[in-house]
Chain A
């Protein structure tokens, strides 16, 4: 028992000191600067001028509008489309097959996918090349804004391709907890069509189970930076991108309004989630009113079909985007209307010294360290819960999700200011630590359910045989959990590889990873070079998932009881 308490104390200390306090301190710094206090540039007087400056900055209003439209729009669309696809496919496709279909989209980092989409959709992109000149009549790239369009359509498309698979995944696991088949039969026996039963009965029960993931999606879409740089409107950009530009502008006078905007970004996310929660009772009343009328309307099917075809189109686009990265990275001569390169070359790949070698190495080191630390912390937390024989408190659960719900830009700059003062900014350690903030929650989420599902009987049997708590952990629990542990590690590694802002801010521009390089190069550089970076960036998570699946299969090749699903 004492042992458990010590372990939990260590975990609590690490979490408080390593995650909660830094986030709060970062916000504290940002807020101080937002109200005029940033001694590093000689600003020492509290005032509201940063806000006045912010509102007067050119493009501020447009940026704000773009953020709201792309953030809320993509989230609502993703939810509706995923629900429609889920309704049509559930029961017709095994959950495991669905998982395999979604895996590439979940694993691919936002930046790589966005670069691939840009390769695909620009007027000189692959789609235009495949359709030209026979269908379009173009023999040179037309002057159209298909990417970086002023409406943010390309950005919304990019967000949808990442968010829909995520929502489908959480919907799938939520549906596993509901007696869908029986309720479908009950609903249809009362005269309701399949689609209507989904909309009126099943989805309202799924919703509460996926509410938190929806909020994560919403918060992310409102504050995304890397994807918005690559696909979003460029002048003015979305608010998060604008803030990043102001922060990194040579003119230090912009730091104060940028801080105000970073604080505003956090307020926007909080307000959007608040508005969403506020709209829930309204939606519930409307839904119940509709349900009580008892309309059988057999016409929901076409809607589901339409939603599903949109989802399929998006997934095909996403897959093509990933393929186009590879094609471009090995293309040599590829003049415009040709469907495929006229000549191929591995030149981009043969020169790691040109930059991608170092970036690859840094990405690998940061990813492995951040993942290992997060995994250790997660195991310590879960083991501490086991030893205390206590369920997780709500506040602890909220703590895990905190880094995923607050916008990164809101506290990372402030935190960097703090680090600068402590003299630890700009190093690998600072970057690794900042990434753990975002890797740990995903590792924890991935590991919690399998850990709790572990059969207690085995652990009790070990105890009855005289094994102490540490031996039970090392000799029974961890080996039995190797599959979910590996999957959690792969997810953590993928999250780490995809991180953009934490690397950029905490590395103070001195730590270059595949992601920061790819985003920087994405606009206007040689597509062959960008392709190499993006392929590597997208490839690392895939390799991690491959290893995660292969290791347990190999270790337990002669153990049927452990070779089943994760």
Chain B
């Protein structure tokens, strides 16, 4: 599984692109990093790759996942997971139901509950299935969000400053938790960050916008 960007840039419809076209090859298990000043369009690029571009913006170039051209597909069929800045756990569902919502539909019946339990355990959240996501700490929320994304079996993962709300110590812990999972599952990742230590820990290519 690899993620390829070929001369990709984004910008307002009919306007000038926000940055020079980017070409990038991300190997399975590798996490590439996008850095650059605020407002340059890093998050917009992630939106474009994930299929979440807001109305009025357009993307040019090609994005390929394992040789599959993505840009024409709707977000839900791209199989690209996203880790958001505030975890985005659905506030009306329990932690377990958030994960169950993510879990691929091919896992059926009692196996679903077992898969959710196992994911919670891996995230150090065993027994948290019935909890309200609002009662979790920042680190617990981040781990639950990763598990939810992974249960959907994505072929690539976008990370939109997912560690920026965490304090330094927790940040290092969650970061290695996320990266280890990506490596173990051979999922290519693309991260947007302002923090050089994030890029260093990711260990992949760093693109300056």
Contacts and interface: CB of A to CB of B under 8 A. Distances in A.
Interface of A: 91-92, 179, 181-194, 200-201, 204-205, 288, 291-296, 298
Interface of B: 47, 50-52, 54-55, 74-77, 79-82, 84, 88, 90-93, 97, 100-105, 107-108, 112, 148-149, 152, 154, 158
B92 A192 contact: no
B32 to A, nearest CB: 18
Given A182-B84, A288-B97, 15 more contacts: A181-B54, A183-B88, A183-B90, A187-B76, A188-B75, A189-B149, A200-B101, A201-B101, A291-B93, A291-B100, A292-B97, A293-B108, A294-B100, A294-B101, A298-B77
Given A185-B82, A186-B88, A200-B101, A193 B112 contact: no
Nearest to A178: B91
Nearest to B54: A181
Given A185-B75, A296-B76, A296-B105, A190 B50 contact: no
B82 A294 contact: no
Contacts of B51: 188
A193 B105 CA distance: 14
A292 B152 CA distance: 13
B52 A205 contact: no
A200 B54 CA distance: 22
Given A185-B50, A188-B52, A294-B105, A193 B74 contact: yes
A184 B75 CA distance: 10
Contacts of B148: 190
A190 B55 CA distance: 21
Give the interface SS of chain B, mostly helix, strand, loop or mixed.
loop
A298 B82 contact: no
Give the interface SS of chain A, mostly helix, strand, loop or mixed.
helix
A67 B201 CA distance: 67
15 contacts: A182-B84, A183-B90, A185-B52, A185-B82, A186-B90, A189-B82, A193-B76, A194-B76, A201-B90, A201-B101, A292-B101, A293-B112, A294-B112, A296-B76, A298-B77
B112 A190 contact: no
A549 B55 CA distance: 30
B92 A204 contact: yes
B88 A182 contact: yes
Contacts of B52: 184-185, 188-189
A92 B54 CA distance: 11
A293 B107 CA distance: 8
A112 B86 CA distance: 50
A188 to B, nearest CB: 4
Most chain A CB neighbours (cut-off 10 Å) among B77, B90, B97, B107: B90
A293 B105 contact: yes
Most chain B CB neighbours (cut-off 10 Å) among A91, A182, A184, A186: A186
Nearest to A196: B76
Contacts of B81: 189-190
Most chain B CB neighbours (cut-off 10 Å) among A181, A190, A192, A288: A190
Contact of A190 (B47, B152, B158): B152
A294 B90 contact: no
A288 B93 CA distance: 9
Nearest to B100: A292
Contact of A189 (B80, B105, B108, B112): B80
Given A91-B55, A185-B52, A296-B105, A192 B97 contact: no
A433 to B, nearest CB: 43
A183 B75 CA distance: 13
A397 B183 CA distance: 55
Contacts of A182: 84, 88
Contacts of A92: 55
Contacts of A200: 101
A192 B112 contact: no
A92 B56 CA distance: 11
B192 to A, nearest CB: 14
Contacts of B107: 294
A189 B103 CA distance: 12
A201 B107 CA distance: 21
B133 to A, nearest CB: 12
Contacts of A188: 50-52, 74-76
A85 B98 CA distance: 26
